[in-house]
Amino acid sequence: MQPIDPNGPAAHTPADLPGNVLVVEDDTLIAMDTAETISGFGVGSVRTARDVADALKMIAERAPDFVLLDVGLVREKSFVVAEQLERQDIPFAFVTGYSGSVGVPAALAHHQVLRKPYLRDELLEILRKWRDD
Measured in degrees and rounded to the nearest 5, phi and psi for residue 33 equal -65, -45
The whole-number average pLDDT for the span 65-83 is: 95
| Residue 5 belongs to some domain of the structure | no
Instruction: Give the chain's mean pLDDT.
Output: 88
Q: Which residue segment(s) compose the domain that 48 sits in?
A: 20-132
Q: Is pLDDT at 10 greater than 80 in this prediction?
A: no
CA atoms of 92 and 63, how far apart (whole Å): 12
The per-residue pLDDT for 3 is: 43
Chain segment 20-61, per-residue pLDDT in tens: 999 999 999 999 999 999 999 999 999 999 999 999 999 999
| Residue 62 belongs to some domain of the structure | yes
| Residue 15 belongs to some domain of the structure | no
Q: Residue 101: which pLDDT band, with cuts at 50, 70 and 90?
A: low
The per-residue pLDDT for 74 is: 85
Domain total of the chain: 1
CATH of the domain at 36: 3.40.50.2300
| Residue 85 belongs to some domain of the structure | yes
| Residue 39 belongs to some domain of the structure | yes
